[in-house]
Structure 1
Amino acid sequence: MTRTISQLFDLKGRTALITGGSRGLGLQMAHALGEAGARVLISSRKASDLEAATAELKAAGIDAQWIAADGQSEEECRRLAQEAMQRLGRIDILVNNAGAAWGAPAEDHPVEAWDKVMDLNVRSYFILSQEVARLSMIPNKRGAIINTASIAGLGGNPRGMKTIAYNTSKGAVINFTRALAAEWGDHGIRVNAICPGFFPSKMTQGTLKAMGEEKLAAHAPLGRLGDDEDLKGLTLLFASDAGKHITGQWMAVDGGVSIITGG
């Protein structure tokens, strides 16, 4: 029997692991999944941030837990997946959202900073996806992986922005999403990517200050930056059965910036 739209978007009985979930975009995505009925487990490096975010989620009526882990460490990524399995029983939805940025001219960009960005923005996504798939999604023949990319991964930057490592890493995330979706479709695992534009956050503070928040907002066809609701709809689509025939795709959530820049 064909399900109703509310049934297709319903996540009751599902579990979700969200990295970088203690603030910003990750916390917004955790709210989206939890509000749709999923049990959520958020992770980041700092226990204090996670405690505050979990309290916020619980205050909203969401079944939420947390585990502190450093995404730059392979050992920590695998421990996170294993402990999440112990807590949740299975992992139906994985949101790879932890990330780092570094601003420097390409000719002066420190190699160690390049490695830090690549390790967290790309390598950790692969390791955690691999571990979660092995432990839960492949045995259960189902799963949804959502990777946070960026419109910065679609091309270059406006003049004045120098984030070569970040742009490169987010371009890699987009093709990682495509390649993984093609390979893991046989296991019933869907893999998609969200490409946010400019959202006020700790990571974008430097860019917003350098470029000017009003100027960046004016550059978008919709005339504003992203807010605390703008990722919720797409996150839920990619995570739920409403998107069960969507895999290997990316979508920009940027107020139309990428259609102007040609991304």
Structure 2
Amino acid sequence: MTGSEDSPSFRLAYVPGVMPAKWVRIWNERQPDIPLTLLSVAAAEASDVLRDGAADAGLVRLPVDRTVFSAIPLYTETTVVVVPKDHLITAAEEVSTEDLADDVVWQPLDDVLEWERLPGKPAIERPATTADAIELVAAGVGVLVVPQSLARLHHRRDLTYRPLVDAPQSSVALSWPEDATTDLVEDFIGIVRGRTVNSTRGRTRPRSEQAGKTEKDAGSGKGAKGRAEAAARRKPPAGARAAKAGAKGAPKGAKGRGKPRRRS
């Protein structure tokens, strides 16, 4: 359950770089009586927050433990390298990891990319956070590789970024504990998947909506009685059918002829 039966609510966790505003707006339009509470969590803590029940669902970075969580992938981000504005690579529209061979590449402890081998020169230590690594880059020491949303989140006027074409990428997903798929979770799934409010998939519509549709169908002739009445209105009377059949059987030219005139 989410909240109490008298005052339900929906709690949505989200990790840095994810912008849930669009989905929250749609939720508020469709569920004005059920408040949505946002909970900002570190990427590494998202699974624990969902597992402990502190949030009903979360916008998280993959991978997640599929033995515990359900997940719907939403999008994959472009990976970029953050550099000072006077860095040589800013002359190109996009770069490769080979272009970073002469740079120290920072890997903060909260890095969300899965590297087989980090490019560039090895750093002496790992910054605690992405924000700390950004400060080092701004000081002219090394560069940082992150998903584009994190580069935007930590934007500075003295820094810029370029797409890194051959780097690992990070995917964002809607995730929730598999054994806690509530009606409200189903409602939010419908929103992120772009379903309309009248979609027949997912959660069953309220009885009041179903009753309204039944009355509308009856009035427009979509019910069984309405279909029968509509068919009766379309069917011509028996006399008209007989006259029509007779006209079809008459020889050509007979239609419209009157009585032959007597010759004098």
Q: Quick check: TM above 0.5?
A: no
Q: Rg: which structure is higher?
A: 2
Please classify the TM superposition score into its range, dividing by the shorter chain length.
under 0.3
TM-score w.r.t. the length of structure 1 is 0.23
Q: Which has the higher relative contact order, 1 or 2, with Cα contacts under 8 A spaced 6 or more apart?
A: 2
- TM-score, reference length from structure 2: 0.23
Higher helix share: 1
